[in-house]
Structure 1
Amino acid sequence: MRSARRAKGQCEVRNRRRGQCLPTLKLGMLHWRHDRTAFAISGGGARGAAQVGMLRALIERGITPDLVVGVSIGAWNGAWLAHRPDLEWVKKLEEVWRQVTRRTLDMVWWRAARNMVRRKPSLYEGGGLSRFVARHLQVHNFEDLAVPLHTVAIDLTLGTKAVFSHGPLGPAVLASSAIPGVFPPVVIDGRQHVDGGLVDPTGLDTAIELGARRVYVLDSGYAGRLPAPLGSMNAIVDHTFYSKLRLSSFPKTSSNVDVDDGVCLN
């Protein structure tokens, strides 16, 4: 879980995960519009369940966001948090996650095999995920949330990053979670959208663009060497996919930064 904090015109990014201290990043030449705290909630598929524990830890310490950025599965967790950023509500999110299975999301093997044979554009139709989101989201529009939420997706039609913060909430969450090849693109305003993790895996870049002064990055990815070899095809593909996203995003994030000594949060 990372925290980015600006001090004297700079932004410090701090990481505390498994006892590791990563370098502090100082970002210069930024125009900060507001003194705001953001939660940037990353993608990561099923590992998004771990973000519930991160949210509990932050809220138990009295840390709440002024805005939330959600990417991929982080868009779902972010939408839940933005509705009610309190401990009781986060505990309910934990209960929801305990109900999630492949069958719940209609992600059974025979559907994937059938769609591959039929040369469909994705392994799954996305109906199960859509029903799950519709059943559990407590509000229908961004404007009904207690905390401003921004979900990140890719606009395939324009070839650009799309950040949603107004209008219908469900389609924006689904668009941010539409992993290419796994779920079909989500059409919003006549344009196709897919998983935002391909352009901003953690949501940190978007939070900075929105003018956040302090950013807590809830990253469900794994930092560092794996403790043991991966044992399944799904695990190998999943880890390769998210490793590629983080490696490809590093030059973009670090192009205007100086690396200083690492600091751990207490």
Structure 2
Amino acid sequence: MRKDQDQSPPSPRRKTAAAVATRPRVALVLQGGGALGAYQAGVYQALHEHDLTPDWVVGTSIGAINAALIAGNPRETRIARLREFWETVAHPDLFDLRQVPDTLRPWATRLTTLDTFLRGAPGFFRPRPLNAFALGLPVPPDEASFYSTAELGQTLSRLVDFDYLNGPSGIRMTVSAVKVTCGTLVNFDSRKRPLGPEHVMASGALPPGFAPVRIEGELYWDGGLYSNTPLEAVLNDEARSNLLCMMVDLWHADGPEPRTLEEVQTREKDVTFASRSQRHIDAYLQQYRLRRAAHALYKRLPADLLTQQDRQMMAELGADSTIHIVRLAYAGRDWNMASKDVNFAKGSVMWRWEQGYEDGLRAVALGRACPFGESDTGIVVHDLPGGDTHVRPEKTADRSA
């Protein structure tokens, strides 16, 4: 199988048998992380420019918003829509950090983040000032939050063509959300139902900042409350074919011992929202080995003893495919700020985009080098080399990322 084809892959709904035979499917998995999500937009730009367009985009929270901007637009307008979104929600820097001494930059960044807490992010969320003083008073479910996301609904309706997303030409999109009443994770999949702005907003409704979103009578919160990296949806997919999965994380489970209370808060948030992908990978490998063993047993049966049901079971147990996961992780230091995901300063947002683009270029090369073919491996994880060594240029770029 060629792994270096440079033609843009067709829609999964219009694939031919020849296309499936000559290239793996490509999935893009996007973690939640608020303002850090600009990094994911940069990663997609690199994939886009090198014709490694995903067949399937899976996202949670800000990852769901980026997924909708990608899947809900024709190829030629995706980058423009992503950039328009991030330029809309970013606010001007309060300070020109290139002129601020290194020792004062963390404080300048804190003030910028405080500005977001007080005023919200344009086109995304605005504060409900009275709710902060009415914690014990009953409010309608769609107002039970400190911020209103009505502007996000308008932004999504303007920048995402949901008719295109749900049509035969759209990339498959899956976004996850949690049922408020029972804590069950639900995956909303464009292959199984039409999706709209409400599904994307539900996936990003992180309490108590944002209110739950009601869909078909049920209230939903941010899928990150259950699992902030929606890799499980990819591993549990019914298709048993080779897959290249680009997984873009925004939080790190690994990190140094904290030495200050602020570092404690940062480390706690990193651990809370970091990927639990290894747990899903281990479970998938166990299932894969069981399927492969059962498939081998069926193949040993004499052909004249196989019933139609046996042959169907063999097809369902097919385990000759391989999933290669290329794992990218945002590695900005963010001054050890627990509120780094709320830093929507324009300089920080654009810096993250640039870092995502640089990492995305390396991920393209790594992904195209993945060996596909008949294998008993099941799943292979490739961590991007040097993914945790980003250093901001001295005095030339915003260091507040």
Calculate the TM-score normalised by the size of structure 2.
Answer: 0.49
Q: Which residue of 2 aligns with 1:216?
A: 246
Where does the alignment leave 5 or more consecutive residues of structure 1 unmatched?
Answer: 6-33
- In the alignment, the residues of structure 1 paired with residue 62 and residue 380 of structure 2 have an alpha-carbon distance, to the nearest angstrom, of 32
SS in 2 for 1:99: helix
Aligned to 1:49, what secondary structure does the other structure show? Answer: helix
Alpha-carbon shift at residue 45 of structure 1 (Å): 0.7
Structure 1: distance between partners of 2:49 and 2:253: 24
In structure 2, stretches of 5+ residues that fail to align are: 4-22, 91-119, 287-376, 386-401
Give the structure, 1 or 2, with the largest relative contact order (CA under 8 Å, sep 6 or more).
Answer: 1
| Equivalent residue, structure 1, for 2:43 | 54
Question: Does the 8 Å contact 1:141/1:168 carry over to 2?
Answer: no
Deviation of the 1:77 alpha carbon: 0.5
Aligned match of 2:75: 86
The DSSP-based 3-state class of the residue aligned with 1:64 is coil
Partner AA of 1:243 in structure 2: V
* 151-160 or 65-74: bigger deviation: 151-160
Name which one, 1 or 2, has greater alpha-carbon Rg: 2
The superposition leaves residues 195-249 of structure 1 with CA deviations (integer Å, 9 ceiling, x where unpaired) of: 112233122111121247221112222464369978969x936x63452133666
- Between 1:72-81 and 1:84-93, the stretch displaced more is 84-93
Q: CA 1:90–1:226 in 2, change beyond 3 Å: closer, same or farther?
A: farther
Q: Which residue of structure 2 aligns with residue 202 of structure 1?
A: 229
SS of aligned partner of 2:45: helix
CA contact (8 A) 2:224 2:273 kept: yes
Higher helix share: 2
Letter in 1 for 2:265: I
One-letter identity of the residue aligned with 1:42: Q
Deviation at residue 106 of structure 1 after TM alignment: 3.6
Change (3 A) 1:85 1:68: farther
TM-score by structure 1 length? 0.71
Q: Which residue of 2 aligns with 1:167?
A: 194
Q: In structure 2, what residue type is equivalent to 1:38?
A: A
RMSD, aligned CA: 3.6
More deviation, 162-171/130-139: 130-139
Indicate the residue corresponding to 2:323 in structure 1.
none
Which deviates more from structure 2 when the two are superposed, residues 126-135 or residues 109-118? 109-118
Shift of 1:114: 4.1
Q: Larger deviation: 222-231 or 81-90? A: 222-231
Q: Distance in 1 between matches of 2:49 and 2:251?
A: 23
Counterpart residue type for residue 184 of structure 1: A
The alpha-carbon deviation at position 72 of structure 1 amounts to 0.8
Give identity over the alignment, percent. 26
Alpha-carbon distance in 2 for matches of 1:55, 1:206: 20
CA deviations over 1:60-104 (Å, ceiling 9, x no partner): 222111111111111111011112363652143123201104241
Match of 1:96 in 2: 85
Using the TM superposition, give the Cα deviation of residue 142 of structure 1 relative to its aligned residue in structure 2, in angstroms.
4.5
Q: 1:142 to 1:86 in 2, by over 3 A?
A: closer
* Conservation of the 8 A alpha-carbon contact between 1:56 and 1:87: no
Q: Secondary structure at the match of 1:90?
A: helix
More displaced 10-residue stretch of structure 1: 160-169 or 98-107: 98-107
Structure with more of its chain in strand, by fraction:
1
Query: Structure 1 pair 79/245, CA: closer, same or farther in 2 (3 Å)?
Result: same
Match of 1:15 in 2: none
Partner SS, residue 274 of structure 2 = helix
Pairs aligned (count): 232
| Residue number in structure 1 paired with 2:155 | 132
